[in-house]
Each structure stands twice: as C-alpha cells, then as structure tokens.
Amino acid sequence: MSRGKLPVVDDGGAPARAPAAFEAMLAGHGLELRAGAVEVLQVNVGKLCNQACKHCHVDASPRRTEIMTAEVADHVLEAVRRFRFPAVDITGGAPELNPQFRRLVSGSRAAGSRVIVRHNLTVLFEPGQEDLPEFFRDHEVEVVSSLPYFLGRETDSQRGPGVFDKSIEALGRLNAVGYGRGVGGLTLNLVYNPVGAFLPPPQASIEADFRRELLARHGVTFDRLYTITNMPIRRFLEYLRRSGNEERYMRRLVDAFNPAAVAGLMCRTTLSVDWRGRLYDCDFNQMLELPVVAGLPRTIGEFDPETFAGRVVETGAHCFGCTAGAGSSCGGAVLKT
Amino acid sequence: MFSNPHSAFRNPHSTGEYRTEMSYYEEEDLGRFGEMGRHRPDLFEKFMAWYQACQEDGALSRREKALIGLAVAHALQCPYCIDAYSQSCLESGSNLEQMTEAIHMASALRGGAALIHGLQAHNSVGKVSM
C-alpha cells in the first residue's frame, strides 16, 4: 500500500462547520435522538491500518500505533459474554492487524453473538494474514468490505495505487471459500463511499451496477452493497478544507436533511467502544472524542444496559452526514427504497 | 466592478449591501436560485413544481435524466447547469466515462447542427450563382 506519502491531517483542526445546528434541525421537526437497547456493540480496535485512504474518518494508517491491548480486549469479551449483544461489529483501522483480533472474533462467536468484521480486503496480503478467508469462514463472520467503485481509477484515487487490483483478487479468494455466493450463510457485503464531496446514489441502483460490472469484468460476486456517506471528520474533513469544498458539502448535507431517516439512525441501536475501552454513541463521535452523555459510565468495563437504555445521543454538525438523503449508517442507506 | 445602486441586480431582501466586486457568473449564485421567487412567486413555484417533477424516476431513471441534463447543460453552455448536473450525475451513480459520453453527444449534435446549416449556405450560394 501507499506507505510513503500519507495525507496530511491537522489533528487539532476545528470540527466541521454547518450552516445549521443539528439539534435545532431535529427540534424543528419535533424530533429527539435517544438510543434504545444496544443491538450492536461496535468495537474499534485501533487506528493501525495497512492503507491510508483519503476519506478515512479514523485517520488510520500504517504509522498509527494506537491499538487495543489484551487487557481492554478482556473487558470487551467479558461484556459480550455477560450482556449477550446480538451483534459485535469489529472495525479499525484494519482490525485484523491487532493481535487481539482473532480472539475477539472467536470469543464473541462463542458467546453467541453475530460477528461483523470491517475488512479492507488488501490486509489479506499482509504477512500472517493469508488464511483470513478460511478464518472468517470457520467462524461464520459477516464480512463487510469497502470498494468505493467498480472501476480501478475511482477506487485507487480514494484508497491508494494498486488497491483496486488487490481488492478484486481478495474478493475472488473470499468467493472461493464460499463468501458472497448467496448460499451457505457466508455473507460478503460491499461498501460504496463517494469518491469525493458528493452524496451516494440510491443504494439499489448502484448495487445493481456493481453486481453486473464486477461479475462481467472480474467474475466476482457479493451479497449486498451498502452506500455510506463520507463523514466530515478527520481526513475527509481535511480534504474538504484543502479542496475548498467544506462549505458546499456541509450545505449539501443540511439541505438534504431527511427527518424520515432519524428513526433508523445506527446510534439508536449501537454502542461504540474505542481501543482504550471508552464508550461513544457511534464510531464518528469516537473519532471526535465526543463520549456518551455526561453522567453515564465511560468504559466498557462499567457498562450497564439499564443505565444506557434511553440515553440521549450526543450530536454535532457531522450528524448531518447520517441524515442526508436516504440516510447513512454502517449498514448502508437507512431508507432502502 | 459593479456598484450601481439602481441596478436590477440588487437583492431587496439582502442586508442592503451591494456587491462591490462581482463577475457575471458567481459560483454561490447557484445556491441563491430561490431568490428568483421573491418576485412573482406564483410563477416561480409553478416553474419549480414542473422542474422537480421532471427530475423524478419515470419512464426514464433519475440517472438517465441527470445525464440528459448534463448534455443539455453543455449544449446551452450554462455554467450553473453544468455544475449542478455534474453533481447530480455523480449522486445518481454515473462515472466520468458515462458523463463524458453524454457531453460528446451534446457536442456532436451541436457540431452536426452547425454543419447541416452548411446546406443553407450552399443553397444561398447556388441561388445567386450562375
């Protein structure tokens, strides 16, 4: 991957500026954002990644050293075993590079949770990761992989030179062990991110394009395509500022605010844990260091479902990214039609 | 420079300030299109209802319509429309290859339309020639 030249990020930069306040927009539509029961525990094991994508809200790269320790992973697994979260969603960085990754997967599966891994495809070619397809298969992991477009030019311009070709090869290997074939329960979902400062197209429409083109051009298959809006955080926000697109993009998000998307926002059913074991309403709040609302326990070791049920979700200008158009979540568009 | 206080470009709902610097096309004016509804809003509303209805999925998809819009924008050489429909094409899932083909269609038609008028020139020449 492109290890030499990484996008420059100003960690001390101000948050995105929107032409409206998210809370006021909700209130104007008579809405309030509160979380229900935790259905998905999303575990971000750290910022280490073999790639340095231009849109990454985590600012992950091969140079990052912040990763979850064995002790924190123990706390996560204790919570998974104790509270039986229906799903554990493991992300990063490239989560597979964390030495705790495989026991987080196997421990969560043993506890009965469905396990989702945000797998960037190219990590499969890193030393010691060659058996990942078989590991995923043996643990019935649901694989979610970013592929921003079905053409090389767009994909490489966002994710780095050569990423598209490696991604296609990795998809072939996942297909070969039974992923994305629509049978056998091995789920391989892809993620479309816009390659730039614009909203995603309708999910069903672009999914049909991906399915047709990837099969015709490369003979690879997948189950579903998720469209996810680029969030104005960290590296993508820096791109917006560098390219003079921040104001226009934020206005686009605000103008496209869709009150119908609010009920399905992922923060209502997800709890996010960072590499230190700290708790957030979502992975985006995590990157902004915006913890769960004051008064609640701050770490996974102190989590208690009763205390967290009905919590007020912390919001900011970035939340317009999840409510624009058909809405956006880690499971794709909020509104599927 | 343009600072005539009696100009028709004055926005009566603005802060009262006049532009002291402007070019004929300003990027941010695209976002101010709604201000055209401040005079004869009835006409503007009718236009917008029709315009928006044209964009919806119908016998043609939104994506196809966005590509038509992009082609027409180039034929009209309207910078606002080119900007808006480039974004619409991306947000409906088109890529640069498809958008460029649409632009070539517009260009080819413009070229063909000019060229076929050559027959009028030939006819005109024929009419006055021995």
Identify whether B99 is part of a domain.
yes
Q: State whether residue B61 sits within 8 Å of chain A by CB.
A: yes
Closest CB to A201 among B31, B93, B96: B93
Residue A3 scores a pLDDT above 80: no
B14 part of contact set with chain A, CB < 8 Å: no
Residue A193 reports pLDDT greater than 90 = yes
CA–CA min distance B40, chain A (Å): 24
B72: in domain: yes
Copy the structure tokens of residue A100: 């705790």
- Kindly indicate the confidence band of residue A196, based on its pLDDT and cuts at 50, 70 and 90: very high
State the nearest Cα–Cα gap between A327 and chain B, in angstroms. Answer: 14
CB contact under 8 A, B93 and A198: no
The tokens describing B116, both together, are 């076929």
Note the pLDDT of residue A184: 67
Bigger pLDDT: B7 vs A4? A4
pLDDT at A235: 95
- Inter-chain touch A154–B61, beta carbons under 8 Å: no
Report the pLDDT value the prediction gives residue A314, as an integer from 0 to 100. Answer: 97
pLDDT at A138 over 80: yes
* pLDDT tens digits, one per residue of A31-53: 999 999 999 999 999 999 999 99
Distance separating alpha carbons of residues A12 and B57, to the nearest angstrom: 44
Determine the Cα angle at A335 with ends A170 and A58, to 5°: 50
End-to-end C-alpha distance for chain A, whole angstroms: 36
Instruction: Give the minimum alpha-carbon distance from A296 to chain B in angstroms, rounded to a whole number.
Output: 39
Specify the pLDDT at position B23. Answer: 77
Question: Using the beta-carbon criterion (under 8 Å), do A154 and B95 form an inter-chain contact?
Answer: yes
Mutation site, B32, B85, B90, B99, interface A, largest A CB count within 10 A: B90
Q: How far apart are CA A181 and CA B129, in angstroms?
A: 74
What pLDDT sits at residue B19? 55
Dihedral (CA of A112, A221, A60, A57) sign: negative
Residue from A158, A205, A253, A258 whose CB has the most chain B CBs within 10 Å, to mutate? A205
Tell me the percentage of chain A whose pLDDT exceeds 70: 96
Per-residue pLDDT band at A217 (split at 50, 70, 90): very high
For residue B108, give its domain range.
41-128
- Distance, CA of B93 to CA of A205 (rounded, Å): 8
Is B95 a domain residue?
yes
Render each residue's pLDDT in chain B as its tens digit; 130 residues. Answer: 333 333 334 444 445 455 566 678 888 888 889 999 999 999 999 999 999 999 999 999 999 999 999 999 999 999 999 999 999 999 999 999 999 999 999 999 999 999 999 999 999 999 999 9
Instruction: Tell me what the mean pLDDT of segment A300-308 comes to.
Output: 94
Interchain CB distance below 8 Å, B63 and A201 = yes
Residue B95, chain A, CB below 8 Å: the answer is: yes
CA distance A267 to A263: 10
* Residue from A147, A193, A209 to probe the interface with B (highest B Cβ count within 10 Å): A209
Q: Is the ipTM of this complex over 0.90?
A: no
State how far the alpha carbon of A296 is from the alpha carbons of A276, A304, A306, A312, B64, in Å: 17, 9, 11, 10, 50
Partners of A153 on chain B (C-beta within 8 Å) are 96
Does position A62 have pLDDT exceeding 80, yes or no? Answer: yes
Q: How many A×B Cβ pairs under 8 Å?
A: 27
Cβ partners under 8 Å of residue A153, min gap 6: B96
Number of structural domains in chain B: 1
CB contact under 8 A, B61 and A196: no
Q: Tell me the domain boundaries of chain A.
A: 22-323
Of A1-5, A57-61, A80-84, B106-110, which gets the smallest average pLDDT?
A: A1-5
Residue B112 lies in a domain: yes
Contact status, residue A15 vs residue A316, Cβ threshold 8 Å: yes
Q: Flag whether pLDDT at A107 surpasses 50.
A: yes
* pLDDT recorded at residue B28: 84
pLDDT at A13: 73
pLDDT of residue A4: 45
Q: Do A205 and B31 touch (CB under 8 A)?
A: no
Tell me which of 3.30.420.130, 3.60.20.10, 3.20.20.70, 3.30.460.20 is the CATH number of domain A22-323.
3.20.20.70
CATH of the domain at B116: 1.20.1290.10
B92 touches chain A (CB under 8 A): yes
Q: Which of A196, A209, A251 sits opposite B93 (nearest CB)?
A: A209
Taking CA–CA distances from A197, the nearest residue in chain B reads B87
Nearest by CB to residue B31, choosing from A149, A194, A251, is A251
Partner-chain contact A199 B91, CB within 8 Å = yes
CB B79 within 8 A of CB B25: yes
Domain annotation covers residue B28: no
Please give the angle made by the CA atoms of A64, A66 and A68, to the nearest 5 degrees. 140
Hey, of B29, B52, B87, which one would you mutate to test binding to chain A, going by the most A CBs within 10 A of its CB?
A: B87
- Over residues A239-293, the pLDDT tens digits come to 999 999 999 999 999 999 999 999 999 999 999 999 999 999 999 999 999 999 9
Predicted confidence band at A326 (pLDDT cuts at 50, 70, 90)? Answer: very high
B26 lies in a domain?
no
Please provide residue A301's backbone torsions phi and psi, each rounded to the nearest 5 degrees.
Answer: -65, -20
Total-model pTM = 0.87
Tell me the pairing of strands A225-227 and A188-192: parallel
